[in-house]
Amino acid sequence: MSAWLTATNKLRITRVTSVRTESPTVKTFTFKDRRCAKAKPGQFVMIWIPGVDEIPISVSDANEADSTVSVTVKKIGEATRALHDKKVGDVIGVRGPFGNSFTLNAKKALIVGGGTGIAPLTFAAKRLSSKRNASKIVSVIGAKNIKELLFKDELKKACGEENFFATTEDGSYGFKGVASTLAEQLLNKEHFDIVYTCGPEHMIRKIFEHAEKRGTLVEASLERIMRCAIGICGSCLVGEYRVCKDGPVFKTEQLQKIKDELGFWKRDFDGKKIPF
Ligand SMILES: Cc1cc2nc3c(=O)[nH]c(=O)nc-3n(C[C@H](O)[C@H](O)[C@H](O)COP(=O)(O)OP(=O)(O)OC[C@H]3O[C@@H](n4cnc5c(N)ncnc54)[C@H](O)[C@@H]3O)c2cc1C
Ligand code: FES
């Protein structure tokens, strides 16, 4: 069947069932959708804000038992601003879930997240910690300041207080500095089977370089402009890959192939390569 005719790609209309304010710029929206409730950590959905736009957002939680799905969204432009104005009961549309997911089979994992990238990683940490032979998870999250540091409590619960680390650029919580610096120190101190990372791409690049030096595997979730989300339009190209279809989670061997672009180049809405 053609990719655009699948049930996953069909736009479903649903209503917002809850809105939670996470920070001055970030809110979590929950809605019901049976298909998206099956999403795995790392997958994303296309959220249609009627009359405005359709945008890709990672799933930050999903529960098949009651068909609920959550997305955690930072207000940065027209569509995200309009979504932030939505209240319980308001109508939105959804397609997906799309893309691949984190593998989640490591015995000892380091999670490194920045900004809203912390959201899908928290979903991953919850799933890892709920497995029968739960993995050891150490998490490092970073933000500009304490107010923008997302999901502290959820991550402490999933990883254990002793395995939770945070950085803020202004030193208002945890270590003063950026997540990649603290992650490098942890990678120097102990062995991890894998690093799961999501957030600003310059942070992902640093994590990839630190991990590569030590031969530690990486899975990184990347963002690019998306339109179709099913591998047709080409707007999400990075190197030889389409982020919507081949990603959004990329493994070490793939990251090595896009090293020249990672953290340096992205594409604008016209498909032109522009620096980050
Ligand atoms: C796979 C994936 C997962 C994402 N997950 C999240 C998430 O969990 N939470 C979150 O807050 N944001 C997430 N984003 C980013 C989110 O899609 C953009 O912030 C949103 O599309 C911006 O729309 P806007 O109209 O508010 O901003 P605009 O005014 O359109 O743009 C503001 C900036 O956002 C970037 N941007 C705009 N549209 C897109 C797009 N379709 N894809 C990627 N970047 C874009 C552009 O570089 C632009 O400079 C994700 C993006 C991708 C590709
Ligand atoms: S968004 Fe169209 S090919 Fe990826």
Final residue before a domain boundary, out of 174, 193, 221: 221
Residue 132 pLDDT: 74
Answer yes or no: is 273 within a domain. no
Query: 92 and 38 in one domain?
Result: yes
Q: Is residue 214 part of a domain?
A: yes
Pocket of ligand 1 (CB under 6 A): 44, 53, 55-58, 72-74, 76-80, 116, 119, 223-226, 248
For 129-153, write each residue's pLDDT tens digit.
988 777 799 999 999 999 999 999 9
Q: What range defines the domain where residue 49 resides?
A: 3-98
| Judgement on whether residues 112 and 177 belong to the same structural domain of the protein | yes
Regarding whether 73 and 178 lie in a shared domain, the answer is no
**How many whole angstroms from 33 Cα to the centroid of ligand 1?**
22
Which of these three, 98, 127, 146, is where a domain ends?
98
Tokens of 119: 């959201």
Specify whether 157 is located in the same domain as 214: yes
Distance CA 220, CA 76 (A): 22
The residues, ordered by sequence, that sit 6+ positions from 209 with a Cβ below 8 Å of its Cβ are none
What is the DSSP secondary structure assignment for residue 134, as one 8-state letter? Answer: P
Instruction: Provide the token pair at 273.
Output: 């390569």
Whether 238 is in a domain gets the answer no
Same domain, 83 and 16: yes
Specify if 258 maps to a domain. Answer: no
Percent of the chain with pLDDT over 70: 99
Q: What is the CATH number of the domain that holds 89?
A: 2.40.30.10
Ligand nearest to the CA of 22: 1
Q: What's the pLDDT score for residue 9? A: 93
> Of 115, 172, 179, nearest to 146 (Cα)?
172
Residues 169, 187 within the same domain:
yes
Note the pLDDT of residue 249.
98
**Dihedral sign (CA 134, 139, 145, 148):** negative
59 and 141: one domain?
A: no
CB-CB contact of 57 with 98 (8 Å): no
pLDDT in tens, 113-122: 999 999 999 9
Q: Convert the pLDDT of each residue in 210-243 to its tens digit.
A: 999 999 999 999 999 999 999 999 999 999 999 9
Q: What is the number of structural domains in the chain?
A: 2
Task: Say if residue 87 is in the same domain as residue 147.
Answer: no
Q: Please spell the DSSP secondary structure of 27-59, one letter per residue.
A: EEEEEE-TTGGGPPTT-EEEEEETTTEEEEEEE
Ligand 2 near 55 CB (within 6 A): no
57-84 pLDDT tens trace: 999 999 999 999 999 999 999 999 999 9
pLDDT band at 1 (very low <50, low <70, confident <90, very high): low
Instruction: Give the ligand whose atoms come closest to the C-alpha of residue 269.
Output: 1
Mean pLDDT of the chain: 95
The residue to mutate among 100, 245, 269, having the most atoms of ligand 2 within 8 angstroms of its beta carbon, is 245
Residue with the smallest CA separation from ligand 1 atom 7 is: 57
204 within a domain of the structure (yes/no): yes
What pLDDT is recorded for position 5?
A: 78
> How buried is 123 (Cβ within 10 angstroms: 0-12 exposed, 13-18 middle, 19+ buried)?
buried
Q: Which atom of ligand 1 is nearest to the CA of 120?
A: 8
Whether 205 is covered by a domain: the verdict is yes
| Confidence check: pLDDT of 34 > 90 | yes
In a domain, residue 41? The reply is yes
User: What is the CA(237)–ligand 2 centre distance, in A?
Assistant: 7
Report the pLDDT averaged over residues 81-108.
96
Residues 217, 191 share a domain: yes
Phi, psi of 163 (to 5 degrees): -105, 15
Residue 37 located in a structural domain: yes
What pLDDT does 4 receive?
A: 72
Q: For 171-187, write each residue's pLDDT tens digit.
A: 999 999 999 999 999 99
Number of H helices, E strands in the chain: 7, 17
pLDDT at 29 (0 to 100)? 98
Is 43 in the same domain as 146?
Answer: no
What is the rounded CA–CA span in Å between residue 275 and residue 189?
34
